[in-house]
Chains A and B, each alone.
Chain A
């Protein structure tokens, strides 16, 4: 066989990488099945299935090679599902998958060419178009029973309290409450509840060198610092920083959405800037914006900034600095 060098390869494939991410998300996904029951199973199933079907159909129609074997549609479907409430009706999920795969990914040219994270586009389109279905149906964890009581997510409750009383007093958390939030015993999207399981998966991905620490650490640290400064400035209006770190979609966003290769910077320095930008925008939205949660919007906005960041954080060619200095 004749081909160009190199003639050996480290064996990592796109499908392999996608599968590792799916694997990393498995604990959090299974946990969502445990706390939200069959409703969660259904959302995940419908989402993955429709994402894969849309991808195959589109590629077929567009005359492109059908590449569902690369697992990228599976991952998008899973991420979308994990960003939806367990009560999301099936058609909502399908619409989300359509926007994610067809509009946000394939119309731009498919894997690698999409400027925005497809799953997040799906989620945000649903959030803007169907706010009632997307946010009114939060269920408290119910352990397989579907007689769940509708409740608000911690961030929504925080916002309501602030709007009603102008103060966040009463939001100082007890140890048990913190523990509940970390373990995931709370209302929220399927995948945003268990901080600890998301973290385990994230550490696994970093250890496997699928993602690097730069984006998640910059993201979470900047949320923490921003929230901390706000809290110090006015403790009656702004809650403790750790509340912001462990609530909402911060962990799933920072570890699994913001680190999407296609839509984030290439170089490490760019990743730090990108992560920090995500964190700051998240906090601006959470503290001053119209939505209780800002992670999705923040990542999408930073996706738009990625080409710019790339341009300014290019690695310097070996030896180039010296030449510049000499001439």
Chain B
């Protein structure tokens, strides 16, 4: 049953830089930039204005719709500005800037333990929403939405994503080593909401200490198991992960719930425990700061809204010439113009590559070597797709499956002609979306 998925690549993992570093708590910076756009779906709506005093955990922006979450003040202080700032996704987006008052005081009702056993499913789901939970692996999909599957899609397995297959990153790894119990507590809450008896934690084999820690803590819990997975990128992609741990294939264009599975990232599980049990909304996260251009790679617990520049300074600054700053991992992360962006709920890491590691290449025509076809975990034909995009034949690209592309980058990673394959597919998807919108 445990099948290895099709395709995938083996990039240099480079995890040694940071995986041995215990999670360190970074002090609150002098200014926090909290974006209204912290999740996939509708951005939240600000409910404070400039000059307002706020307390830690207080709602500063409300859900902008069902597929949206509230945003909370990560610290107590004063709203210094509401303006647009460079967002890690690469554009300027509105954010609430908070200047801490130094007290770091919780709002009323926050940080109070609750009797979780007394909660109903619906109450837990509401608390997950109210806590501002999103997928912390980078996708930032609102968690409460995932916890509300339609009744005709019964779910029988909860899969915890501990694969952390992106090179360089080690935040989830450290989290599993240091906070296994809390992760499983959170997972148990999710399992209760969707009423599943089986919880499988998928962890790549290159994290033996995490596997051991999670196995030890899972042993006493009924229905929990830990699966050691092959080390191949993108093992942490939902569909590939589900296939690896359950042997089920999510249909093309479908969702995990189509095969009775719910996937949650391990960090999200821990955040759920914090939110539901202690009424501490999602205002901080663990991320990895690494790469050969940072003086001291670290795994850090930081407040949401912490500017990248403060983080880099806390890690001893840059060493040598930095060629590229990436928010997220090097396979799917977004390269940054500067260190002006700040941490969001989805920031899993900041990777700083040295100049000599990021030589620029000219892309060339496809030589039809087929390496991309072999690498694509979605079994697409990136070669043909990219040629269709070049010829602006977006409809044909759609028929050839471009919408099934998860932008994992495996194809571009192996392409000897250095074709900008992922950009091509993003563009095609955007064109198809625009067209669908126009068609109504």
Contact = CB atoms under 8 A, between A and B. Distances in A.
A113 interface: yes
A317 B378 contact: yes
Interface stretch (A8-16, A90-98, A133-141, A142-150): A8-16
B12 A112 contact: no
Contacts of A160: none
Given A4-B422, A266-B381, A315 B373 contact: yes
Contact of A316 (B250, B334, B368, B379): B379
- Which of B12, B324, B413, B426 gathers most chain A CB within 10 Å? B413
A314 B358 contact: no
Contacts of B401: 317, 320
29 contacts: A1-B324, A1-B360, A2-B324, A2-B335, A2-B337, A3-B360, A4-B420, A5-B330, A5-B334, A5-B409, A5-B422, A6-B412, A6-B413, A7-B324, A8-B167, A8-B330, A10-B11, A10-B413, A17-B416, A111-B365, A113-B365, A261-B368, A264-B368, A266-B368, A315-B373, A317-B252, A317-B404, A318-B377, A320-B251
Contacts of A8: 11-12, 167, 330-331, 413
B369 interface: yes
Given A1-B335, A111-B364, A266-B384, 4 more contacts: A1-B323, A3-B324, A6-B332, A318-B250
A14 B334 contact: no
A10 B410 CA distance: 10
A112 B368 CA distance: 7
- Which of B252, B409, B420 gathers most chain A CB within 10 Å? B252
B384 A10 contact: no
A313 to B, nearest CB: 10
Interface in B94-151: none
Contacts of B11: 8, 10
A111 B384 contact: no
B337 A322 contact: no
A320 B417 CA distance: 29
A306 B351 CA distance: 42
B90 to A, nearest CB: 8
A317 B379 contact: yes
B254 A70 contact: no
Chain A interface secondary structure, helix, strand, loop or mixed? loop
Q: How large is the interface on B (under 10, 10 to 19, 20 to 34, 35 or more residues)?
A: 35 or more
A319 interface: yes
A72 B213 CA distance: 52
Contact of B368 (A1, A262, A317): A262
Contacts of A17: 367, 369, 416
A61 B119 CA distance: 77
Interface in A257-282: 261-268
Interface residues of A, number: 43
A113 B410 CA distance: 23
- Which of A10, A310, A319, A322 gathers most chain B CB within 10 Å? A319
Contacts of B418: 9, 13
A7 B365 contact: no
Contacts, number: 153
A175 interface: no
- Which of A111, A266, A322 gathers most chain B CB within 10 Å? A266
Interface of A: 1-10, 12-14, 16-17, 65, 67, 70, 109-113, 261-268, 310, 314-323, 326
Nearest to A211: B369
Nearest to A70: B364
A56 B420 CA distance: 25
A38 B377 CA distance: 51
Which 8 pairs, one residue from A and one from B, show the smallest C-beta to C-beta distance?
A: A6-B409, A112-B365, A323-B251, A320-B252, A7-B330, A315-B379, A319-B252, A261-B369
B153 to A, nearest CB: 13
A316 B187 CA distance: 34
B353 interface: yes
A69 to B, nearest CB: 10
B95 to A, nearest CB: 20
A265 to B, nearest CB: 8
Interface string B382-394: 0110000000000
Nearest to A267: B373
B416 to A, nearest CB: 5
